Amino acid sequence: MMHLPRGDSLSFKEVDKKTEQVAKVLNGAGIKEGDRVSVHLSNKPETVIILLALQAVKAIAHCVNTRLSPEEIIYQVKDCSAALFISDSLELMNEVRSITKTLEVGHIFNSENHIFMSDNDQRSFEWDDTCSIMYTSGTTGKPKGVIQSYGNHYHSATASSIHLSIINQDCWYCAVPIFHVSGFSIIVRSLVTGCSFYLAETYNQEELCTLIQQEQVTIASVVTVMLLRFHEQWNLTTIPTTFKGFLVGGGPVPKWLLQELTEKGFNLFQTYGMTETCSQVVTLSPEKAATKIGSVGLPLLHTDIKIDKLDGSGVGEILVKGPTVTKGYWGLPEVTSNAFVNGWFKTGDIGYLDQDEFLYIKDRRSDLIISGGENIYPAEIESVLLAHPNVEQVAVIGVQSTEWGQSPSACIVLSDHVLDIRSVELDLIHLCHEKLASYKHPVHFHFMESLPMTSSMKIKRHELKALLESEQS
């Protein structure tokens, strides 16, 4: 059952029927097994149906972050050579049309297309078959398509549901985007366990309060910024026993918030995961929250983690193994092979395990900035800024933000001859606007004489971060 705002809902049977219809439209558009189809849509019921219809025709869903700039989107569409681009933005479709076929979402659902599909079309998949591709950037700054198989999704859903004691009576609140694995995985858990989900197009704390109060949702996936707003909104003294709690991913939760929500009686399942592991790697049960402060919990069923220790202290890079781990990056065999060591996926994040095997995150992979649940890789912004002829050196740093957790801030060294710094700044703002999703735009440009460097000529990012934060306070 998919619940929608304003009391609407679609049963599994209705979803299935619509899925069959859309599958016929996709067939009619020439989509066949293995084709990549870009889905550039927000959290709408049509999006869910299109994603399922792609499975029905055994095509691969390329899930597009709708917040990205046209240039960023076009890069991905080209990279995975999508056979079709589905969107509700006519403007964007105009831009994409030169590289692939486009289909407007309204057209799909109004279509009278009734191409014959054999009744015997069994929807069965091998676990290794690719289901979806989601792009993520990295230290190099070049977005890479993470290949997610049916097995990845399936095993994540079963393990997550068991870890969180989800049964078919539950209803999952989904305001996190379904183009991200956090949202996509809610759909899969619903298919696997028979639980319902409530699909919210955008997050609205008032709506969530009402849904919890009226016992319409029993669990909610959120990022910290949503929790902050929810915390401000919630003013009841009792919580219905039907509400199991919040699954909080996408960066750490401030301790005061954790404490205050716990005091109000809310359960928080803190979690650590990534696109490459198809969502959760470890999750902290609320009953352990008090004794394991700062931990992100224990691995899910059949997921193994270990630390590639840097020294005797037990701290090191977090490695992950298990059936939810990606086969690799689309079209990048070398990058893929470098991402693994002896079958273990290298997360790039730094952490340690305590004596009870609980995981603690010390430092996010290299210089990752997490802003409102979105991952921002400085290299991506830096390469845009470096394109300006007057920029000599640049370092993008995540600075604390009360609302978003972190925001990107740019430290820039200009070439000597620049006279009008303000004019360059306006150029840079324009550049970012043109090339980057708005959540990636630096909140500040700091023009500096030089950047602090290590002896091996690496930028001392921690030093810059400390400097910016001291200026902030």
- Separation of alpha carbons 459 and 411, rounded Å: 11
CB 2 within 8 Å of CB 199: yes
> Which x/- pattern, by CB under 8 A, does the window 177-206 give for a second copy?
---------------xxx------------
What are the contacts of 441-446 at 24+ separation with CB within 8 A?
Answer: 441/408, 442/381, 442/396, 442/407, 442/408, 442/409, 442/410, 443/399, 443/401, 443/407, 443/408, 443/409, 444/399, 444/409, 444/410, 444/468, 445/410, 445/412, 446/409, 446/410, 446/411, 446/412
- The verdict on 168 binding a second copy (CB under 8 A) reads yes
Number of residues that bind a second copy (CB under 8 A): 18
- Select the span of 16-24, 28-36, 245-253, 299-307 touching a second copy (CB under 8 A): 299-307
Tell me whether residue 159 or residue 428 sits nearer to a second copy (CB atom): 159
Tell me whether residue 18 or residue 189 sits nearer to a second copy (CB atom): 189
Q: Which residues, 310 to 339, sit near a second copy by CB under 8 A?
A: 321
CB 102 within 8 Å of CB 125: no
Tell me whether residue 23 or residue 159 sits nearer to a second copy (CB atom): 159
- The verdict on 169 binding a second copy (CB under 8 A) reads yes
- The verdict on 341 binding a second copy (CB under 8 A) reads no
What is the residue type of 39? V
- The verdict on 241 binding a second copy (CB under 8 A) reads no
Tell me whether residue 192 or residue 468 sits nearer to a second copy (CB atom): 192
Tell me whether residue 169 or residue 415 sits nearer to a second copy (CB atom): 169
Residue 20 in tokens: 């069959």
Question: Binder to a second copy among 206, 304, 354, 357 (CB under 8 A)?
Answer: 304
- Select the span of 3-11, 162-170, 235-243, 453-461 touching a second copy (CB under 8 A): 162-170
Tell me whether residue 119 or residue 449 sits nearer to a second copy (CB atom): 119
Strands of 256-368 (E only): list them. Answer: 268-274, 279-284, 295-299, 304-309, 316-321, 328-329, 340-341, 344-353, 359-363
- The verdict on 167 binding a second copy (CB under 8 A) reads yes
- Separation of alpha carbons 269 and 296, rounded Å: 9
- The verdict on 161 binding a second copy (CB under 8 A) reads yes
Query: Alpha carbon of 246 to those of 162, 223, 241: distances in Å?
Result: 16, 9, 13
- The verdict on 124 binding a second copy (CB under 8 A) reads yes
- The verdict on 280 binding a second copy (CB under 8 A) reads no
DSSP for residue 119: T
Question: Binder to a second copy among 90, 162, 426, 443 (CB under 8 A)?
Answer: 162
- The verdict on 301 binding a second copy (CB under 8 A) reads yes
Among 15, 283, 289, 306, CA closest to 156:
283
Binding site for a second copy (CB under 8 A): 122, 124, 154, 158-159, 161-162, 165, 167-169, 192-194, 301-302, 304, 321
